Homo-oligomer: A and B are copies of this chain.
C-alpha cells in the first residue's frame, strides 16, 4: 500500500460537506467507537496506562471479526488461486530498505511552526492553503519555495514556518548489545518480504508464471497524525499479494471466470464512476493485461461480499502524479463512508521495479524461467488490503440505529460476523443449560459460537444483535421433548424451529451458502 497522496478531487469529497453533516458524522463516529469499546471490538492499546495515539488493541469480538476477514481474504486470494502464503519477520535489516528505496524515499515533508512548535505535513498545508498538489519525493527546498511563494503560515497560530525536513516514517530498531549495533527497521509494508523471499519460494515450490506470494501481517509507520479510529494507525494489519507474471503475456487463464463482471471504475479526470466489464476494461486499453482486470474485479467482489453495497465501492484510477514512483498504473479500491471515500485496498502495477532493485542490490538471481527456457524478471501486480480499515468500513456500513427495534445493531454479513451464532438456554434450570452447552460444543467444532446465559431472552437477543451475531439458537422446554431448537434471524427477527441433528448443516447453509432463512426447518408453532 503506497503512502496515500490524495488528489484535490478526492480530498474535496473526503471533507465533511456542511457543518450539520460534520456534527452528524462526529456523532456517528462516537457511537461506533463507543460500541466498539463497550462490546470488546477494539480500544486504544494500553488504555489503562498512558496510550500513545495510533495503537489499538482488539478485544474478543474484534479479534474474531478480524480473523474472519483475514480468512475470507486468504480463501479468495491465496487458496482459491492456488498461490503461496508466507510469513516474514517484522524487523528487517536496513539493507532491504536501501534496496527498496524506503530509506531514501519513504518520507513525509514536515514543517514546524516557529512560534507554537506545532508540527504539520507541509504537503497537506500547501494543498489546503494554496490548492497546489505536492507529489511524493518533492525535494525539501522546492517545498520551502512553495511555502514562501504562497506565504503559507501555521494554521494553528499564524506563526512563521521553519524549513521543511524530510521525515522518514519507518521505526528504527537497534539489534545486539555491542556498539556499533546493527540498524534495522520495522517493516512499513508487508510486501517487501514477498519480493526478498521470491527466489526461496520459487525454488521451493517450482511454480510457473503467473503465481502469487501473499502475506497477512503487521506493518508499522510513524504517522504524524494518526486519527479516525482504525483508519490511520501506526501499527496495522495488511494482506498483501504480489502476482508475478510475464509482461509479454496479455492473456490470463482464469480471466473467463470474471470477464463479464461489472467494475465501478472512476478514471483519471472523471468525476463519476463508469460501470464496465472486465473484458471491456482490457478491450478499451484501460488496463494492459487480463490479469489486472481479473484482480480488480476480484477485489471489488471481495469488498462487496463483506457487505459493502456496490454503489459504495469504486476503483479509482490514480493520477500519474499521485502514483508511487514505481507504479505504472494504480487503482485504489475505495469505500464510501461518513468520512468520504476511504481507501481499503491499493492495487498497483509495480512492473519489475522491486525484484530488479533487490537483484541489483544483492547480485542475486531473481528471475523466473519461461517455457521457452528464457529467464525474465517477472512483473508484479500488487493487491494491498488494509485489514483494519476494511473492518472499520464494514462496521460503519453495518451500524443500524434502529428506533423501531429499540436498540442499535450491526447488519453484518453472516460470514464476516465475529460469531456465526449465539446459543442460549431459555432458563438455566431443568437441564436446559446442560443441553444448551451440548449444542454449543457441537456447533463450536465448525463455527465461532457464543454461549450466553444471564438475562432475559429479549436482552440476550439485543446483546447478540448489537455485535452483529446473525443467528440466535434457543434451547427451551420443547427441546427436551422433541429435539428441536428455535433459530432467530437477526435481520428480520423471524424465528424457525430446527432439529438439533440438522442445526449444523442449516447454519452452514445460512452462513456460507446464502440459504434463505424461510427455507430452514419449520415455522414456530
Contact = CB atoms under 8 A, between A and B. Distances in A.
Contacts of A203: 38
Contacts of A222: 175-177
A362 B218 CA distance: 28
B60 A206 contact: no
A101 B175 CA distance: 22
A186 interface: yes
Interface stretch (A92-100, A153-161, A262-270, A409-417): A92-100
B99 A55 contact: no
A175 to B, nearest CB: 5
A8 B218 CA distance: 39
A96 B46 contact: yes
Interface stretch (A79-87, A277-285, A307-315): A79-87
Contact of A224 (B62, B177, B366): B177
B48 A362 contact: yes
Interface stretch (A23-31, A194-202, A344-352, A470-478): A194-202
B204 A40 contact: yes
Contact of A200 (B47, B55, B90, B206): B47
Give how many copies assemble into the complex. Answer: 2
A45 interface: yes
Contacts of A57: 86-89, 193, 197, 200
A204 B61 contact: yes
Contacts of A110: 177
Interface stretch (A126-134, A166-174, A288-296): A166-174
A227 B366 CA distance: 28
A46 B93 contact: yes
A66 interface: yes
Given A171-B173, A205-B60, A49 B196 contact: yes
Given A57-B89, A57-B193, A59-B200, 20 more contacts: A40-B200, A45-B93, A46-B196, A47-B200, A49-B96, A49-B361, A50-B93, A52-B93, A55-B89, A55-B91, A59-B86, A60-B86, A63-B86, A63-B87, A80-B444, A117-B178, A167-B177, A173-B173, A175-B222, A186-B186
Interface of A: 37-40, 43, 45-52, 54-64, 66, 79-80, 82, 84-93, 95-96, 99, 110, 112, 117, 119, 167, 171-178, 182, 184, 186, 193, 196-197, 199-201, 203-206, 218, 220, 222, 224, 234-235, 358, 361-362, 364, 366, 440, 444, 448, 451, 454
